[in-house]
Structures are given as structure tokens and as C-alpha cells.
Structure 1
Amino acid sequence: MLRLLQIEFQKLWLNRTSRILIYVSFIFPLSILILSSIKINFFGLFIIDLSETQIFEFPYIWHITTFFIAFFKFFFAIVVVSMIGNEYSNRTLKQNLIDGLSKKEVILSKFYFILAYSLVVTALVFVITLFIGISNAPSSALYVDIIFDGTEFILGYFVKLLTFFSLCLCVGVLIKRSAFSLGFLFILYIAEMIFYALTKFEWSNTQTADSIFQFMPYTSMWNLINDPITRMINVNNPGEMRPTDYAVHWYEIVIALSWVAVYIFLSYRLLKRRDL
């Protein structure tokens, strides 16, 4: 595993574009630090200081940061898709096979990088969230059980990254070219949303559509971390509480990880059948 990971890392590190993309991708999660210090001035009438709201305190902060930082995964996709595109354009993929790597090892090296990349990004988000939470929490709330209540969202974030990057890997192997691969990922997302809307219209029941589409690629990733907007409203308006289930459920993780297995298997089958 370490040998394959080292091979993949060396190829990316020697590519200037890939190196820059990786650096930038680690900077994006830091943007949540800026968000936690924003003060919004409404034409001089009143000022909203986000740091004074409870949304940046434990346990809510785990939910808030993982949900919003997850949107940057579409930028992270450029790193993964470029990794595959460069293999074809620079012919390093064929060279790896000549040097003795099997096609299975080639795919595994990509997957190991994706796994390591997801772990590092998740660890960074964990540290940032912990820092923001401790900085905004009152001293009376700094207890271990309170601080780490809600860390299951970190697990959900990691699985979401791993699933999405595995999808990017599969699409990259299928299409070869980075720009077309990114376009296909976007088209796939739009198509799933259209089919979801049509299903909801056909059945006239959102619950039925949700139960069907929880097994679809993008929806399975979305379900890992639910929209925290209503939770933010509930925190600041306790008199208007809306009961909502925000938990990260085990079956949602299983569905997403099942897609990871499918994407890696398809990537291998595509590469195995392809004449390089």
C-alpha cells in the first residue's frame, strides 16, 4: 500500500499544476475561519455578528462546518480528475504498466491517494472546527462530552469526500480528459436532480421520492450531512423549534461506501478492458 501511495504521490508532486491544486485545496477549508468572524452591516440599521450567535458553539459547529466546507469538494474534484487526465496525456499510465505495475495496482494507487487525501482534508476540517468551537464556546461549556458531541459529522464528511472522489476517479478513467470529465460530473448531477423532481411529481409524495433516491449517487452523498439551516434557525429562535432529524445514520454510510466499492470496481474493469 505504502509503495503504491508513494508512486502516486511522486507523480503528482512532480506535476506543477497538480501541486498547486493540492495546495489551494487545503486553503479552502480555512475559509470557515473567516465566516466565523463576519459582521454583516444592514445599511447602518443594525449589525449581525455571526460570532455572537450560538451556531459556532459546540455541538452545532461540527454540523455547520462540515456541511458548508463539503461544497468545496467540487474544487477538490479538479485534483482527482486531473490526476487521471495527466496519466493519459503524459502517457505515464502506459509507462507504469511497462515498469511492472498491474492495472489493478494502478487503480489501487489512485484509490490509496484518494483515501489519504480524504483523511488529511478531514483532519484539517476537524482541527479548524475544534479551534472555532473552543474560541466561541463559553468557559462553562468546555467539557469533553460537550466538545465532542456531534463529531459523527466528521465521519460523514470523510465518507462524503471518499465517495465523491471515487466517483471522480471512475469518470476520469471512463472519459480520460479532465474538462470533459468535470462536465460529465455536472451533467450527472443535473440529471439526477431532474429525475428526482419528475419522480416527486409523478408520485406526488416527497417521502416516496426520497426513499427511492437515497440510493442514487449524489443523493446518497447529500444525505450524509443534512442541511443545517433549520437547525441554525432553531438555535437562535428556540420558541420556533422545528423537529428535524440531523443525525448521521449508519445505513447512509453503508449506502455511500457501497458506491465507493462500485466506483473502484468499475474503474478497474474499464482500465482492464482498455488497450493502452
Structure 2
Amino acid sequence: MLRLINIEFHKLKHNRASKILSIIYFGLLTSIALIAAIKFDIGPIKFHLAEQGIFNFPYIWHFNTYMAAILKFFLLLVIVSMMANEYSYKTLKQNLIDGLSKKEFILSKFYTVIVFALISTLFVFIVSLILGLVYSDFNELSIIFSDLEYLIAFFIKLVGFFSFGLFLGILIKRSAFAVAAMIVWLIVESIFKGYLYWTFKDLKSGTEEAVSSIMQFFPLESMANLIKEPFTRLGAVKSVANQIGENFTKDYSVNLLNILIVLFWTFIFIYASYALLKKRDL
């Protein structure tokens, strides 16, 4: 395993574009801390975002993993370009000539995906812990280390997403087209979701539940479901909603079924990558 990881990181070390994208990605993850600096002072109205509870434990684990997941496209570019470069520079063929099996080649890519996801998760954990210790109103250990399942969901979400990117990189061989294919798939899922809403529009109640019960099995939708939006969970938002007669009853927890669906898709993407590579004449 370590041998395969070393091979991949040796390649990445000599790829300037991948290094730049990785630095940008982790720099942006760190920039989540800048949210604490957002202030609005308009006459008697003083608004400090950090004081609204976004960095309170355990809410911070939900908020930061959701925000960090938005940035995953930067590492997606690294993953697909990593695969595209194998074809462009003929390193794939050379690796196979040097004795690396196709199974080991796919595993080396998958291990790299896991390492990227693990480092990202650890990075978000450290940034969130520091921000929470500085700004949170609750510093009891039992509160600090509750809701850590959002970090597990974040890790699984990244592994699934990057595995999808790896599969597209092998399928299409060109990084730009692979990213475009990911965007097209996202559009297709969105259109189908809209079609389902139109189909079930005549239901007196339960339209949302009917659509969700179907869409949860699609790859990108299942990944999105791992960490639901945290904004309506915020106390200040709930207070405003109550004043205008709205009541949020959304389930924000990490659902085991969603985890299993994403793990299933991850297996499909990696196995399909191997099957595709095995079938090709290189």
C-alpha cells in the first residue's frame, strides 16, 4: 500500500499544476476562519457573524464540513488531471511495463483519493477545533466532541466524489472533458429531479418525500445528502422564522442509509475504473 502511494505522490510532486491546485484548496479551507472577521456596523446596527453562533460547538462541525465540501472541486481537478497525465505522458503504459499490474495501478489511485480525503478531514477538524475553542460559548468536552459524525460524512463524501472523478478521468482521458462530464451529470440529475417534482405535483402532501426517496439513490444527490445545509439549523435563523410563522422540522443528522449508498457508488466507480482499464488495449 505504501509503495503504491509513494509512486503516486512522486508523480504529483513533479506536477506543478497539481501542487498549485492543492495549495489553493488547502488555503481556501483555512480561509473558513476569515468568516469570523465578517462585521457590519451600520449606525446602531452591529452585526458580527462569529457572534451568531456559527462557531459554537457542536454546530461548528456541521457548518464547517458543509462549507469545506463546496471547495472539493479544486481537488477534483487534481484527481482528474492526475489520471489524464497518465495517458498524456505515457506513464500508465510505462508503469505496466515496469511490472505494476492494472489492479495495483487502480489501487494506487484509490489510495491517493483516500489520502487526500483523510488529509482534508484532518485539516477541517483542526481548523474547526481552533475556531471553536476561540469563539464557542460551550467548551465542555462532552459538547466539543459531539456531532463528530459530520467529519466521517465529510470524509466519505470526498472519497465518493473523487472516486467518481477518477472513473471519469479513466473513461474520458482528458481532464477538462472529465470535469465537464461531471457538470453534465449534475445537470442531468437536477433536470430529472425537476421532472419528478412535476410528476408528483398533484400529490396533496408528501411530494418532497416522494422525490427524495427516489433521488437519494443517485450518486451526486446521495453525496449531497450526507451533509445537509446547516443554515436553517442556526438559532438566529430559527428565531426569525418563528416570528414570521415558519417552523423548520428538517432532519440534519447524518443518515446511515446515505452513507451506505455513497459507499456503494464508491465501490461501483472504482470497480468500473478497473474493469475499463482491464478491457482497454494500452
**TM norm structure 2:** 0.93
Which shifted more, 206-215 or 232-241? 232-241
Q: Which amino acid in structure 2 is aligned with residue 68 of structure 1?
A: M
1:148-163 equivalent positions in 2, closer than 5 A: 148-163=145-160
Q: Distance in 1 between matches of 2:45 and 2:30?
A: 27
When the two structures are aligned, how many residues end up with a matched partner?
273
Q: Distance in 2 between matches of 1:180 and 1:116?
A: 25
Per the alignment, residue 228 of structure 2 pairs with 226
1:244-255 equivalent positions in 2, closer than 5 A: 244-255=250-261
- Deviations along 1:26-66, one digit per CA (max 9) or x if unpaired, are 11111110012211345x56231011111211111111111
Q: Which amino acid in structure 1 is aligned with residue 57 of structure 2?
A: F
Q: What is the CA RMSD across the aligned residues, in angstroms? A: 1.5
Per the alignment, residue 218 of structure 2 pairs with 216
Describe the SS at the equivalent of 2:229. Answer: coil
Q: Distance in 2 between matches of 1:233 and 1:219?
A: 27
Q: Is 2:163 the counterpart of 1:180? A: no
**TM norm structure 1:** 0.95
1:15-26 equivalent positions in 2, closer than 5 A: 15-26=15-26
Q: Which amino acid in structure 2 is aligned with residue 181 of structure 1?
A: A
Per the alignment, residue 3 of structure 2 pairs with 3
Is the contact between residue 97 and residue 103 of structure 1 (CA under 8 Å) also seen in structure 2?
A: yes
Q: CA deviation at 1:226?
A: 0.6
Which shifted more, 245-254 or 46-55? 46-55
Distance 1:47 1:236, change over 3 A: farther
Q: Distance in 2 between matches of 1:36 and 1:249?
A: 29
Q: Distance in 2 between matches of 1:266 and 1:40?
A: 51
Q: Distance in 1 between matches of 2:18 and 2:91?
A: 15
Q: Distance in 2 between matches of 1:111 and 1:155?
A: 18
Q: Distance in 1 between matches of 2:44 and 2:140?
A: 38
Per the alignment, residue 71 of structure 2 pairs with 72
Q: Distance in 1 between matches of 2:24 and 2:86?
A: 21
Per the alignment, residue 202 of structure 1 pairs with 199
Q: Distance in 1 between matches of 2:74 and 2:115?
A: 17
Which shifted more, 30-39 or 16-25? 16-25
Is the contact between residue 55 and residue 235 of structure 1 (CA under 8 Å) also seen in structure 2?
A: no
Q: Distance in 2 between matches of 1:96 and 1:165?
A: 22
Per the alignment, residue 204 of structure 2 pairs with none
Q: CA deviation at 1:234?
A: 5.4
Describe the SS at the equivalent of 2:46. Answer: strand
Q: Is 2:187 the counterpart of 1:190? A: yes
Q: For structure 1, which runs of at least 5 residues remain unmatched after alignment?
A: none
Q: CA deviation at 1:133?
A: 0.8
1:1-276 equivalent positions in 2, closer than 5 A: 1-41=1-41, 44=43, 46-138=45-137, 141-204=138-201, 205-233=207-235, 237=239, 240=242, 242-276=248-282
Identity percentage over the alignment?
45
Is the contact between residue 167 and residue 269 of structure 2 (CA under 8 Å) also seen in structure 1?
A: yes
Q: For structure 2, which runs of at least 5 residues remain unmatched after alignment?
A: 202-206
Q: Distance in 2 between matches of 1:239 and 1:58?
A: 22
The runs of at least 4 aligned residues of structure 1 exceeding 3 Å deviation read: 233-236
- Deviations along 1:225-256, one digit per CA (max 9) or x if unpaired, are 01112112556628825222110011111110
Q: Which amino acid in structure 2 is aligned with residue 174 of structure 1?
A: L
Describe the SS at the equivalent of 1:226. Answer: coil
Q: Which amino acid in structure 1 is aligned with residue 270 of structure 2?
A: I
Q: CA deviation at 1:16?
A: 1.7
Is the contact between residue 53 and residue 235 of structure 2 (CA under 8 Å) also seen in structure 1?
A: no
Is the contact between residue 54 and residue 236 of structure 1 (CA under 8 Å) also seen in structure 2?
A: no
